[in-house]
Chain A
């Protein structure tokens, strides 16, 4: 059996939030549980979705996989490499597109992508050709390649962010709400490109999104997390079936999401 693309075992992450108090020495510390004993495995070439309400721990999970955070407990292996102990091996295999397109605002898309290419040790001539190809494929116009990012719309900036993520041909691509802020056409472009990347580069993709239709269309399996815990994990069809059986009518992924995360909200209200 081949090593899974991603294996997460019992991972927890707690943040300590300091609250401002009137007196300097009297600062209160509050524990915020972002992830609580999460375990899951993603196969090679799988598109795996992570859904959850705001603050459920999705971005913390992505940041742990990106080597930007260290887990408090548990282990994460990417293609067999421990994220904590073999950080460099992991970094060579991954890339990420986050919801907020972060760039040097006064640089052009080509300058920003050239910086990224150099950071990943790509020969620049080869990289330049690839940048153009990807950006054109994502529907960006050639004349925008050299104008400052700050003059571009949020959607266009997000497309450049997607191009940056794909540029280094990562074997595990982490997409953190990559289509937020894009118009329906651009969304389709990005989604089609995600599929293409999986086929052409045999990439594994982990996708977080609030767009249920997107998750349904793209993902092979989906985990729904809430309050740092996985509350359901199955194929989109499996998740919908389980809710349909319960409610006796056809369910959409949105119904599944509301049913699973909403119910918990009701329970919490009752506990109070």
Chain B
């Protein structure tokens, strides 16, 4: 109970940050929305680009699924990976790290907020983008898609923890390095194209990204009505792999936190 109260500190803090920096939120939402629309319009314009008759509806949904899932997963990734960078920027890092809070509790609070925030944000983008296109999701397996999304969140929480180590190690450039990590995931996970399009060696790398399975499964659910039962093995793998990544992430974070305390990097400025 006490731990939940402590975890809520991070949820409440992040809600307050959104309220206080609402201008940023609006700008960021517009950026994501326009980005989703721009990518989805590539599908809508494909017939004109190629001069051939194509299943435009399928292409639109294919790209929309990719852009929305990426938007959601990247919110999870950034919310967690920025938990250090944000505190350093505000100058509160020393106070948070000297409080009697375990990193696991810190993470639970940050993650719960990230998932709720990510779902709400993605829903807003979905509703607005859907109004631009005539989407047909009649045969889609929506409960299966939600299950898969939640299972995929676990892995991204783990990846977020690993990435959060960068601002601890590199006070000045760590936050920017997390952008590079996110960009690599975007390239290899088949967000806008099938991973089979990638060179053979990158396909091997893509098999290590949890987003590859989430996006592929989501397309199966939403475009082909793939049954929940057939998704269970992927869901199980995503949760197991995600849990393993979280454990490894916490271990690495603990080691790096100790290193930061040894070298004096745990302070507000670089």
Residues of A within 8 A of B (CB): 15-16, 63, 66-70, 88, 91-92, 94-96, 98, 100, 102-107, 111, 114-116, 118-121, 123-124, 148, 164
Contact = CB atoms under 8 A, between A and B. Distances in A.
A15 B262 CA distance: 9
B35 interface: no
Interface string B64-105: 000000000000000000000000001110111111111000
A118 B8 contact: yes
A102 B95 contact: yes
Given A66-B98, A121-B2, A106 B263 contact: no
Contacts of A102: 90-92, 94-95, 268
Interface in B23-40: none
A121 B6 contact: yes
Contact of A91 (B12, B100, B262): B100
Contact of A96 (B92, B96, B98, B102): B98
Most buried by A among B3, B261, B267: B261
A114 B264 contact: no
Given A96-B95, A121-B100, 19 more contacts: A63-B94, A63-B264, A67-B261, A68-B98, A69-B262, A69-B266, A70-B258, A91-B99, A94-B98, A102-B94, A104-B13, A104-B16, A107-B20, A115-B9, A115-B12, A118-B9, A118-B12, A119-B95, A123-B5
B12 A88 contact: no
A148 B20 contact: yes
Contact of B100 (A88, A114, A164): A88
Contact of A16 (B8, B20, B101, B263): B263
B14 to A, nearest CB: 10
B9 A119 contact: yes
A211 B206 CA distance: 61
22 contacts: A63-B94, A67-B98, A67-B261, A68-B97, A68-B98, A69-B261, A70-B258, A92-B100, A95-B98, A100-B268, A103-B92, A104-B16, A114-B12, A115-B12, A118-B5, A118-B9, A119-B99, A119-B100, A119-B101, A120-B99, A121-B6, A124-B5
B201 interface: no
A102 B269 CA distance: 11
Nearest to B13: A115
Q: In terms of DSSP, what is the predominant structure of the interface of chain B? A: helix
Interface of B: 2-3, 5-6, 8-9, 12-13, 16-17, 20-21, 90-92, 94-102, 258, 261-264, 266-268
Contacts of B101: 119
Contacts of B261: 67-70
Contacts of B258: 70
A15 B21 contact: no
A106 B12 CA distance: 14
Nearest to A64: B261
A91 B12 CA distance: 22
Nearest to B259: A70
A99 to B, nearest CB: 12
Nearest to B2: A121
A154 to B, nearest CB: 14
B23 to A, nearest CB: 11
Contacts of A120: 99-100
Contact of B90 (A103, A114, A118, A164): A103
Nearest to A59: B267
Nearest to B269: A100
B169 to A, nearest CB: 14
A104 B268 CA distance: 12
Nearest to B11: A118
A61 B233 CA distance: 54
A92 B101 CA distance: 9
A16 B97 CA distance: 22
Given A16-B263, A70-B261, A121-B2, A116 B99 contact: yes
Contacts of B97: 67-68
Nearest to B93: A102
A116 B12 CA distance: 11
A253 B200 CA distance: 75
A138 to B, nearest CB: 18
3 closest Cβ contacts across the A-B interface? A118-B9, A106-B20, A102-B91
A67 B261 CA distance: 8
A124 B97 CA distance: 20
A107 B16 CA distance: 7
A51 B196 CA distance: 67
A174 to B, nearest CB: 9
Given A69-B266, A115-B13, A119-B6, A100 B91 contact: yes
Nearest to B109: A118
